[in-house]
Structure formats: structure tokens, C-alpha cells
Structure 1
Amino acid sequence: MGAVISSSSEEENEEDEVFSEEEEKVEIRYEENLKEIKTVESESDSDISFDSSSDSSSSDDSSFFGDSTEEDSETSSYEEVENEISEGILFSMGNPLLDLSTNVAEGFLKKYNLKTNDAIIAEEKHLPMYKDLVEFFPIEYIAGGATQNSVKVCQWMLGVPQATTFIGCIGNDEFGQILKQKAEDVGVKTAYYVQDKEPTGTCAALICGHDRSLCANLAAANEYKKEHLDRKENWALVEKAKFYYIAGFFLTVSVDSILAVAKHAAENGKIFMMNLSAPFLCEFFKDQQTSVLPYADILFGNETEAAVFSKIHNFGTEDVAEIAKKLAGWTKINSTRQRIVVITQGAEPAIVATGPHEVAKYPIIKIKPEDIVDTNGAGDAFVGGFLSQLVKGKSIEQCVQGGHYAANLIIQRSGCTFPKEKCAFES
């Protein structure tokens, strides 16, 4: 069976009606869960180890959006401050990939030595898999890549044209044009580095039951060069932004590009955000990861990634809340604000550490198992929802609510996609 892409307008109209109903159900569940949204644990743990040179150890919740002075001490705690959503307010950079999404049996995963709920970069042994997928499975092509997924969700929830910007490398081919069109259709401003050496990258998004396994063939995405970022017109996009988000996968491609953006953010009091993204990055790209981590004002991850990070860095604990606090207390370049660490745990509450002593737990929006289509893109969607509220100046609690809303909506669909209608979420 060959690859299939549904394109009739009649099918799209029917899908939009279904998706509108899904979004309406999410709204109802969101309202029902607001009452139980937060449980806070605040402790003073003298046994937590972190770099004492960082002012993150301060237990007071200093202003997250800027420096605190005596004059504004009354408003120095993190609170809701509405921001004007301007063009290019959020800058992002990552690996643009075209997802090849399909359902497979467990035996197919075993054939290519893949695991559920995992994400890896394709090796030589995985390359024949892509041919098998196209020849023998019905494929749905979805514009993907972790960072681009998050930014598209953020853009959809903001609803302001070109409020977000994405940079990455694609091939001079049809897949590259599809990626560009899909991102720009949502309203994301793209500034791709287009080259002829490698084709546009792809990612096998294999759905097995409600779980997913991702295997990325970076191809062109791996060819990104800092020289592209340094171009006047592209660096102007960096300077224009106030918030920055880069998933950890880009650590395998261009650390110098990440550091250039991270240093700009730190030097100008802007918000720089990263994601642990995958266990293999914590294990095999440890040096690259720890070179960037000190610049992170907000760090995202899931419980599996947190556990591997803890093991690699000898934290001596498997408790997710403790790991989050230790990550929040990691050395920090910009000491004017504490680091916030957000760890998602699937069906369990999200953990948020503000500095090395304070932890909050936020329950997810409840969903019936039969309503779940697949979990591919759930983590990316959570980040996108979180970012959409952060750039508005909302509180961290409201940011998490936005993240839960987006994740809940996306897992009821195939891949990281969303309705064409305007997002109805309000925190």
C-alpha cells in the first residue's frame, strides 16, 4: 500500500466539525479541573546540592520578567503582567522535520530495535525502515520537529500573525516546501536555511497503541550553520524577540548557534528556554547540554528525561520533584531571576520547581482512554501552550493550564495538529 494524503475539501470540512467538537470537550474538562489545579509543596532542603555562585538559591520569588529594584520591590514577585503580543516576540530554532506518521504493531518496532515512548536519531540500521513505511503503510505527512511543533501550537493559541519565528535547515525539495507552507499557514514566520546538499529531514512517528516511537533522519536539519544565523536579516529576528525557545535536539546540530542566542538573552534580560527533549541527549550529549543549561531561565522535560539526567549527574534520587529542584538550582548565568523547571509526567501531575526549594504540582485535564488517538506531540503541545501564556505575561500557573489544555487537545488527534478555528482557550 502506498502513502496516502487526504486532500478533499469535503473531508476537511467534516474533520473541522469533529475537531471543533473535540476542542469544545477540552474546554469543558478544563473548566471542571480548574478547582483542583494546584497542590504546592514548599520546603527548605539543606541537603540539596547546587552551585552556590548562583542567586537561584534565594527563596523569594523575584520578578521573572526583569530585574528587581528597591523602587519596584512591591511588584517584584512573579505575577500576571499583560504583554502586548508583537510580531516576532518569540524566536525559536530547531530541526524542521516532516513526520511520517502511521500505526504499527509492536513487532515492527522490535524489527528496527525501537522502543515505545522514546525518541532517537536514526542510525544506518534504521534507514531501510523509511522505505518500508512508504511502501507498506498508509502514511500521514505532518509538518513536525519538536521545536517547530511547539511554536506552531503557540502561534495558534496566540492568534496574532507572525508573533513567532522559526529558523532551521531544509532541503531544496518538495518536502521542504511542504514544511514551509504548513508553518506559514498557521502564522509562523520562517527563515529557513535552504541548501542542496541534503534532502529535507524526516521523522518516523510510529504509533503503537496509545504510545509513540520517534526515529528522526535529520538529513538537511543536520546541516544548519551559524553563518546563517549571523546574517543581518536573521540576527535582526533574534534582537527583535523577547522570548527564546530551543528544544534539546538542536544540541546535536549547532551548539554555537544556541549559545549565541542564549548569551544575547542573558545580556539583555530576556527569557531563554530549553528542553531536555530525550534521554539520549542527557546521556550522550552531556557536555553540549551542560554548556547551554546555565543560560536557561525555564527548562522543560519529562519524567524519563529527568531520571536519566539525575543518574548521569549523580543526583542520588529518582524522585521527580527533587530532580526538578536540583535542576532549578543548577548554575545560572543570569542571576536576576530564579530558574523554573517544568517536568511533565504523562497522566500524572506536572511538576514545577521555582528555584531549588519550591515545588508545585499541577494535575492534568482528565481524559477517557478511548478519547486518546495518540500521544505523539503531546509534550511539544504542552510547551506550545505554556509559551503562549508566558509571552502574554501570565502567571506560571496559567502557563501550565495553557500547556495542559494544548496537550489534552492534541492527544485526541493524529500527530501534533489542531483545529483551523481560532483557539478558544482563556486562562
Structure 2
Amino acid sequence: MPAQARYDVVGLGNAIVDVIARADDDFLVLHDLRKGGMTLIDEARARSLYAAMGQTTVVSGGSAANTIIGLASLGRSAAFIGKVKADELGEMFAHDIRAANVAFSTAPAGDGASSARCLIVVTPDGQRTMSTYLGACQNLCVDDIDAEMVADSRVVYLEGYLWDPPAAKDAFRKASRIARAAGRETALSLSDAFCVDRYRDEFLEFMRSGGAQVIFANESELHSLYETADFATALAALKAEGVLGVVTRSEKGCVVVRGDAVVEVDAFPVESVVDTTGAGDLFAAGFLAGYTQGRALGDCARLGALAAAEIIQHIGARPQTDLRRLAGQNGLAA
């Protein structure tokens, strides 16, 4: 990738405010919530579930936005493109992401659906169950793509969750074309196994046509992509795609493949798992922080593992520690 760029990474994704509460498994059963998954809901369901959640923590979220803020915490230059409405939640999102030193200039919608929110229930085992009202997020369109910002970023990072709306999908494809024309790289996060189930063929076509040169997936997403329960078979299929593949495996660490090269890195040890929300997002942040500096793939993966370890030891998907300082303390100065 060209050395000169204003931004290391620009992320495109859902601009969401996270509403987080602790509850036991009985709460999930009572409200018909699929443990550990993400379910799309309408605004009425969002209101009723919120009323049942009790005490909550409110913080700006969204998968790609979490990654971009993690990158900023690691000292990298970052930008974000995502849609909110000009309402209270939209203003909160914009304030939070700019306060994290991330460039964000997407114009808010003046009417239509309200800003998005993700209602997250965290059970005692640290698992998070998400119910997401996408709202204004889905209105991201090609006109929202800042061509200059995209062309001036080393990596364009696309959030698979936002593949549902046709207009947003067109926006992703436009950003990928701009990046390719500028000699940049595009990374795609598969986001969720159920998302892959819906768009398997489109994700594969996007990757194989050169739309994405870097793929981020967890183990279940990789199994879904290649429709196999055997990890070795799925990994071999990813290797054959000719992309840089980054696969997280929770406590088993991660595997990075590029051509014939295979790099395995252990997970960082943690004292306790409090909330797994954002673990994959922050892993991507750490990996891309190293990758945009031209570091060895093993070091990129270790940075990712360190950032993920920080995030799962507290509530919420935004770092509570200066990740750049933490990296330095662990011999991984970013």
C-alpha cells in the first residue's frame, strides 16, 4: 500500500448507540432472546425491551466504529463514515466518536427513522446478546461516501452488518472501487455467522472480484462462509482465496493466513471475562494498527489479541485503558 496517507484506516459501518444491562439467562428466556447472537428488531420492540432492561450503561457503539476508536486509542489516524439522524442519540454518537480523535463528517439525516441503538444484555458468563434497531443506519448511501477521505486512507474497513440495505451495499462497493483506484486496500469484517448465512454468495463474490483484500472472521463465521463444521477445511478454503485472512478463535487465539504462510497467536491471558462485547472489533483495531505500520503478521495479531483482552475485562466495547500505553507495556509499542 502507498506509504503516504492522511488516515491509516477509514471505517464504514453502523452508527449505533449501545445500551448495556446485566441480566441472567432467565431474562433471555423470558424475552425470547437468542443467547450470544444479534437479532434485528423494530422500534416498538426496542422500546419494550429497553423498558424491561432496568439499569443500563449508555455508550456510542457500532462494530466498525468500535474498531476505529480502538485504532485511535492505539495512536493511529482514523476516520469513520456512518449515518445518524439529527436527534439526541445521533448527537451523542457524533460527540463520542469525535471526542476519541476520529474524523467524522457524515451529514445527519433531517427526517425519517431515528438514530440506531443496540440493546445488549450481558449474562454472568460474559456473553452478550444483542437486539439491534438499525433505524437511520440503513440510510447510508453512495452520496455519503467521502471520496477524498477514502482515497487518502491506507485501509478501508467495511462492516458486514451493514450489508443488508441495498443503498449501503452500493456505498460499500463505491468505497472499495475508490480505494482500489487509489492503490489502497479494503478489509471486510464478516460480522456475524447469521449475516454470512444471508449473504454468503455475495461476500464470496465481493472477495473474489477484488472488492476486499483482507477478511476478518471468527471461527463460526468462517464455518458459515464455507459451509463446513471442520475448521481445517474452512481455513484451507480461505487460504485458497488469495487474500489476507484473519480468523479469531476466542480463548484459542487466532490464525492469520496469507498464501502459504500460516501464523498462529495465542490469546492474551485475562483475570476474568466480564463482557465479550466488541472483542472482535478491538482485535481488528489492534491488527490493523500493526498492519498499517507494515509490521509482521504475528505482531499485528498480538496487538489484536492485547486489545481484545482489554475490552473483555469491562462492560462496553470502548477501551477504558490507553491502548497505546498498554501496547508499550507489553513490548508491542504501536
Distance 1:192 1:121 in 2: 24
Of the candidates 299, 303, 309, which is equivalent to residue 402 of structure 1?
Answer: 303
CA deviations over 1:184-211 (Å, ceiling 9, x no partner): 1110000223112111100011101211
**Mapped pair 1:211 → 2:133:** no
- With over 3 angstroms needed to count, the CA separation of the structure-2 counterparts of 1:185 and 1:148, relative to structure 1, is same
Q: Deviations over 1:314-370 (max 9, x none)?
A: xxx42324312312323xxxxxxx411111111112111212x442221111123xx
Higher relative contact order (CA 8 A, sep 6+): 1
TM-score by length of 1: 0.71
Q: Measure how far apart 1:413 and its partner are.
A: 1.3
Corresponding residue SS for 1:288: helix
Query: Are 1:415 and 2:316 counterparts?
Result: yes
Unaligned runs of 5+ in 1: 1-64, 67-82, 312-316, 331-337
Offset at residue 421 of structure 1 (A): 4.3
Equivalence for 1:322: 233
Of the three residues 232, 238, 253, the one matched with 2:150 is: 238
Give the Cα–Cα distance (whole angstroms) in 1 for the partners of residues 232 and 144 of structure 2. 39
Aligned residues of 2:73 and 2:322 also touching (Cα < 8 A): no
Superposed CA deviations along residues 149-199 of structure 1, whole A, max 9, x for unmatched, are 0110011112x5xx1110111011011111011111110000223112111
- Distance in 2 (alpha carbons) for counterparts of 1:279 and 1:422: 28
Asked if 2 retains the 8 angstrom alpha-carbon contact of 1:325 and 1:341, the reply is: no
C-alpha separation in 1, matches of 2:53 and 2:140: 32
**Is this contact kept in 2: 1:90–1:242, CA < 8 A?**
yes
Q: Report what 1:46 is aligned to.
A: none
Structure 1 contact 384–406 (Cα < 8 Å) conserved: yes
Identical counterparts, % of pairs: 20
In the TM superposition, residue 228 of structure 1 has moved relative to its aligned partner by: 2.2
What is the aligned partner in structure 1 of residue 250 from structure 2?
346
Query: C-alpha distance in 2, partners of 1:421/1:326?
Result: 37
| Structure 1 residue identity aligned to 2:37 | D
SS at match of 1:351: strand
Where does residue 269 of structure 2 map in the other structure?
A: 366
Pair 1:107-2:19 in alignment:
no
1:128 aligns with 2:45: yes
* Contact kept in structure 2, 1:97 and 1:179, CA below 8 Å: yes
Q: Which amino acid aligns with 1:235?
A: A
8 A Cα contact 2:253 2:305, kept in partner: no
Mind listing any 5+ residue stretches in structure 2 that lack a counterpart? none
Q: CA deviation at 1:136?
A: 4.7
Give the structure 2 partner of residue 52 of structure 1: none
- Is the partner of 1:202 in helix, strand or coil? strand
Aligned mates of 1:299, 1:278 — CA distance in 2: 13
Report deviation, 1:135.
5.4
1:194 alignment partner, SS class = coil
Is 1:94–1:146's contact at 8 Å kept on the other side of the alignment? Answer: yes
Equivalent-residue separation in structure 1 for 2:45 and 2:27 (angstroms): 12
The equivalent of 1:252 in structure 2 is: 164
Q: 1:113 to 1:391 in 2, by over 3 A?
A: same
Contact 2:140 2:171 (C-alpha < 8 Å) held by counterparts: no
Is 1:88 matched with 2:4? Answer: no
What one-letter code is carried by the residue in structure 1 that aligns with 2:61?
G
Q: Does 1:221 align with 2:134?
A: no
